Amino acid sequence: MLVRKLSVLGSAVRQWEPFSREGAVVEGIGLMIEARGIELGIGEICSIGSDPPVAAEVVGFREGRSLLMPLGELRGIRPGLSVACREKRPQAWVSEQFLGRVLDPMGHALDGGADPEGAVPVPLYGEPVNPLVRRRVDSVLDTRVRALNALLTLGQGQKVGLFAGAGVGKSTLLGMMAREADVDVSVVALIGERGREVREFLERDLGEEGLSRSVVVVSTGDQPSLLRVRGALFAMSVAEYFRKQNRSVLFVMDSLTRFAMALREIGLATGEPPTARGYTPSVFAQLPRFVERAGGIEGEGSITGLYTVLVEGADMTSDPLSDALAAILDGHILLSRDLAAEGIYPSVDLLNSRSRVMPVIADPHHRALAATFLRYESLYRKSEDLIRVGAYVPGMDPELDQAVSLHPRMMEFLSQPAGEGISFTDSLAALEEVLEGEDVRVGSGEGEL
């Protein structure tokens, strides 16, 4: 009996934490709150004060003080307020009832309904995946967008960047894919958006049909940087939850740039040195970890990631963030302001876009058709200025003559109404119709498109 009591006592001692779980605020500068008298680990969630409490996350520590950033408003925070640990391991609570709902980064309803029930905890930051259990991208994802299906074919489990400036139809294309793509679940993360844009996207671009099979997580630009970061992480945790149920998931995030900007704000507030364009080293360390959470896993489903990246003009290399993201993604789709000005939507710049998995998942005839289309498009674009000013002389170059002749049909092929989804099979049939009678050499386009 005595031995048993000693064993129980020993177990209790091992579980006892020899430090205080409550401290006090001692300083607050900018976005950062410093607390003393409580030992905390990075990532733990605390509450500050009690009327009402303000949630905060531990982002660092120095000289015996814990550094916290709020998940809400800083108003009312003052020295001496109590700081208590609420959640030792950062978790996201996810439920099957999330489908069809609009949520904030904490999982609370924003659509006027009650908070979803039946939630289970999943890791907020995800868990590292053994690269040998990842599935290869070997099956086509039917996006229901003709230009992408036929010329920039995407695969299930691929990670793609949508590079675009403002006003070129980015949100419309995202809504089309979230609503129409051949997947089981769409998870949409609207990070750093203006409040007006959120409702417009839900009602105009996604619609009731799209929302019914989607989970939308919203963190607007007026919210604290830590909440914007948490919104992206929470949305990815939701996608991982559905992937574990062997479902195909489309993860749509607008935008990855604003997520990086929020990470930069946190890094600068904690004292990290700024590097290229003010981005801190931790930004370039965390982005690959976040992006790599997508993909397919053996015995589970897949997450196809579509991340928007804001660019200036059409140059992806002028911004260090865009350049870094292009290197870690499995392809990029660049939207053209010139095509948008011509009224061609989606305004995909085919010559500057790439799908790195297309050579693997498309059959030889399909690749040959795409290569032929792109060859004619390239010929036309190179001579476009001469054609427009009337300096082009027909008969000098038969292949260019053919490119000029086909150009109207090619532009018609690229243009697609937002409410009209076109299947993968119909997309290929339309591509063959555009190139009917052309010399399509099977075996061309074997390399990376």
pLDDT digits (tens), the chain, 449 positions: 434 333 433 433 333 333 446 889 998 887 889 999 888 888 888 899 877 888 899 988 888 888 999 888 878 888 989 999 888 778 899 999 999 999 999 899 999 888 888 889 999 988 888 889 999 999 999 999 999 999 999 999 999 999 988 778 888 899 999 999 999 999 999 999 888 889 999 998 898 989 999 999 999 988 989 999 999 999 999 999 999 999 999 999 998 999 999 999 999 888 889 887 789 999 999 999 999 999 999 999 999 999 999 887 656 666 788 888 888 999 999 998 888 888 888 999 999 999 999 999 999 999 999 999 999 999 999 888 787 777 777 877 888 889 999 999 999 999 998 888 899 999 999 999 999 867 676 654 454 54
What gap in Å lies between CA 168 and CA 441, rounded to an integer?
34
Q: What is the pTM of this model?
A: 0.88
What gap in Å lies between CA 428 and CA 445, rounded to an integer?
16
What gap in Å lies between CA 90 and CA 122, rounded to an integer?
9
Residue 13's pLDDT is what?
32
Residue 383's pLDDT is what?
87
CATH 1.20.1270.330 residue ranges of the chain are 365-436
Amino acid identity of residue 20, one-letter, is: S
What gap in Å lies between CA 69 and CA 92, rounded to an integer?
18
At the topology level of CATH, where does 365-436 sit? Substrate Binding Domain Of Dnak; Chain:A; Domain 2 (1.20.1270)
Q: 252 and 225 in contact (C-beta within 8 Å)? A: no
Residues 6+ apart with CB under 8 A from 202: 102, 211, 216
- Reference 163, options 75, 97, 256, 93; nearest CA is 256
Output the CA torsion 139→215→220→93 (10° steps).
Answer: -110
Question: What phi, psi does 258 have (nearest 5°)?
Answer: -70, -30
348 in helix, strand or coil? strand
Question: What phi, psi does 185 have (nearest 5°)?
Answer: -140, 140
With vertex at residue 319, the alpha carbon angle to CA 315 and CA 324, rounded to the nearest 5 degrees, is 105
Residue 317's pLDDT is what?
66
Strand 248-254 and strand 185-193: the pairing is parallel
Residue 260's pLDDT is what?
94
Residue 315's pLDDT is what?
62
For the domain with range 20-89, which CATH number is right: 3.30.70.20, 1.10.357.10, 2.40.10.170, 2.60.120.200? 2.40.10.170
Q: Residue 2 corresponds to which tokens in the numbers above?
A: 């005595």
**Among all chains, which residue has been given the structure tokens 């949630």?**
55
CATH 2.40.10.170 residue ranges of the chain are 20-89
What gap in Å lies between CA 67 and CA 33, rounded to an integer?
6
Residue 258's pLDDT is what?
93
CATH 3.40.50.12240 residue ranges of the chain are 92-361
Long-range contacts of 63-68 (CB under 8 A, 24+ apart): 64/36, 65/26, 65/27, 65/34, 65/35, 65/36, 66/23, 66/34, 66/35, 66/36, 66/38, 66/39, 66/40, 67/32, 67/33, 67/34, 67/270, 68/32, 68/33, 68/34, 68/35
Output the CA torsion 344→348→352→355 (10° steps).
Answer: -150
Residue 97's pLDDT is what?
93
At the topology level of CATH, where does 92-361 sit? Rossmann fold (3.40.50)
Residue 16's pLDDT is what?
33
Residue 90's pLDDT is what?
82
Residue 431's pLDDT is what?
95
Residue 8's pLDDT is what?
34
CB crowding 20-42: b at 16 or more within 10 Å, else e: eeebebbebeebbbbbebbebee
DSSP state of 141: E
